[in-house]
A and B are shown apart, each in its own frame.
Chain A
Amino acid sequence: MTEVRTIDVSGLKPYDISSQAPLWWGQFMIVFIEGTMFGILIAAYFYVRLRMDVWPPPGDQFPHRTLPTLELIPLILSCVGSYWASEAAKKNDRAGMIGGMALNVVLAGIALWMRIVEWHSLNFNWMTDAHGSYVWAFLGLHTFDYIGDLAFTAVLLLLVLIGRYGPKQRLGVHVDSIVWYFLVAIWIPIYVVIYWGPVIVRTQQ
Chain B
Amino acid sequence: MTASQDIYPQTETLARDVDQLERSWRHPRGVFGWLSYTTHQAIGTRYIVTAFIMLLAGGIEALMMRTQLMHSNNGYLGPERYNQMFTTHGTTMMFLFAVPMMEGMAIYLVPLMCGTRNVAFPRLNAFGYWMYLFGVLFLYWGVFTNAAPDVGWFAYPPLSGPQFTPGKSTDYWAQMITFTEVSALCVAAEIIATILKMRAPGMSLNRMPLYVWSLLIQSWMIIFAMPAIVVASSYLLSDRTVATHFVNPAEGGDPLLYQHIFWFFGHPEVYIIFIPALGFVSAIVVAHSGRELVGYTAMVLAQIANGFIAFGLWVHHMFATDLPQIGEAYFTASSMMIAITSGVQIFCWIATLWSGRLRLTTALHFVYGFIAIFVLGGLTGVVLASVPLDLQVHDTYFVVAHFHYVLIGGAVFPLFGAFYHWFPKFTGRLMNETLGRVNFWVLFVGFNLVFFPMHILGLKGMPRRIYTYSPEMGWDHLNLVATIGAWVIAIGGVLFMVNFLWSRKNGQLAGNNPWDADSLEWAAASPPANYNFEYLPAATSRYPLWVAREDRAVVTGTRNERREVLVTTLMDAKPHHRYVLPGPSIWPLIAAICVTTGFAGSVFNAWYITWGTIISGLALVGWFWPKRPLEPADD
Contacts and interface: CB of A to CB of B under 8 A. Distances in A.
Interface of A: 1-16, 20-23, 25-26, 29-30, 32-34, 36-37, 40-41, 44, 47-48, 51-52, 57, 126-134, 136-137, 144, 148, 151-152, 155, 159, 164-169, 172
B324 interface: no
B230 A37 contact: yes
Nearest to B569: A20
B554 A47 contact: no
Contact of B246 (A30, A34, A137): A137
Interface stretch (B46-54, B188-196, B326-334, B487-495): B188-196
B121 interface: yes
Given A7-B553, A16-B577, A22-B197, 7 more contacts: A1-B6, A7-B555, A9-B575, A12-B575, A22-B198, A26-B124, A26-B189
B576 A26 contact: no
Nearest to B246: A133
Interface stretch (B29-37, B221-229, B357-365): B221-229
A177 to B, nearest CB: 17
Interface in B567-601: 567, 569, 575-580
Contacts of B55: none
B145 interface: no
B188 A29 contact: yes
A47 B235 CA distance: 14
Contacts of A33: 185, 223, 226-227
Contact of B554 (A4, A44, A131, A148): A4
Contacts of A164: 626, 630
A66 B538 CA distance: 60
Contact of A21 (B246, B567, B620): B567
Contacts of B559: 10, 14
B214 to A, nearest CB: 18
Interface string B232-259: 0000001000111110000111100100
Interface in B415-453: none
Nearest to A47: B257
A16 B554 CA distance: 22
Contacts of A57: 251-252
Given A6-B9, A11-B557, A20-B567, A132 B245 contact: yes
B308 to A, nearest CB: 15
B626 A15 contact: no
Q: Which 5 A-B pairs have the closest CB atoms?
A: A10-B557, A166-B630, A130-B252, A29-B189, A5-B553
Interface in B510-558: 535, 538, 549-550, 552-558
Contacts of B281: none
23 contacts: A1-B6, A3-B9, A5-B553, A7-B538, A7-B553, A8-B557, A10-B556, A12-B575, A13-B578, A14-B634, A21-B577, A22-B193, A22-B194, A22-B196, A26-B190, A44-B261, A47-B254, A127-B243, A129-B245, A130-B254, A133-B244, A165-B630, A168-B626
B7 interface: yes
Contacts of B567: 16, 20-22
Nearest to A37: B227
B624 A172 contact: yes
A188 B625 CA distance: 33
Given A4-B552, A47-B260, A129-B251, A166 B577 contact: no
B607 to A, nearest CB: 14
B246 A2 contact: no
Interface SS majority for chain A: helix
Nearest to A53: B252
Given A22-B198, A26-B120, A6 B253 contact: no
B631 A166 contact: yes
B566 interface: yes
Contacts of A25: 120, 189, 192-193, 196-197
A172 B623 CA distance: 13
Contact of A4 (B9, B228, B264): B9
Given A26-B120, A165-B630, A20 B254 contact: no
Contacts of A168: 580, 626, 630
A52 B550 CA distance: 72
Contacts of A23: 121, 193
A122 B8 CA distance: 69
Contacts of B555: 6-9
A129 B252 contact: yes
B554 A12 contact: no
Contact of A15 (B227, B253, B579, B621): B579
Given A5-B553, A33-B226, A130-B245, A155 B576 contact: no
A7 B245 contact: no
Contacts of A165: 626, 630
Contacts of B629: 166
A153 to B, nearest CB: 13
B10 interface: yes
B574 to A, nearest CB: 10
Nearest to A163: B630
Interface string B330-369: 0000000000000000000000000000000000000000
